[in-house]
Structure 1
């Protein structure tokens, strides 16, 4: 029992996951936002930059997956899953979520189940510059 409690305590918080995504995007940490709302504020600040980029650096993949899994609100974990699906592909995202389901703590497994639903987001070219670029290059006669 003590080992389980230790593992639960060692898990990152949603705030630390959201802060890491924001840091990698070059977003500042809001000092004037109460700590209880800081994670959601960071998630909101990251949403637009994540969707506006034609591609995302490899170093963002694991933090995006962690933020999606640790986001306690099933309505908002999509803010991390959707850009990951656009940038890294649905298969890779779902494989990462399966890893959380197989080896994660109970909290991680619950978060992965919430995120799994979001990983089925339909892909629309008007939602991501990367997808628009990819479709344009495919449609060029060659």
Structure 2
């Protein structure tokens, strides 16, 4: 979990690495690998999200600027990182961490907080020297208070 100045320093490192094209993901991601119904769902979700934020599909600058907000944690005051050990092919471990992440989100909501899981940070595990060396970055969760204006996309 990072907050305050540690959160701000990490955000600056992530933005610097993105600006320099430095990505060293622990897991591969290829949007082109989505086929059939999965591609349709992926595309539809992105369209709904961008429409809600007022971003046109052909506005690549606005889409990129919106992506950068991930690296600023959408203004959330706290960021929880979920790491996983490498065990076998890691599929079951990833499932376990995913279930834990869902439980964390439910617990946050039950206690009056809001959480937003994100995976984009996984493209930049080398941005901080503080990651556990024998772990993979599974996901991170933005933690804050829910705001009623979701179009601002800030916590």
Q: How does the TM-score come out when normalised to structure 1?
A: 0.27
Name the one with the larger strand percent: 2
Greater relative CO, 1 or 2 (CA 8 Å, sep 6+): 2
Name the one with the larger helix percent: 1
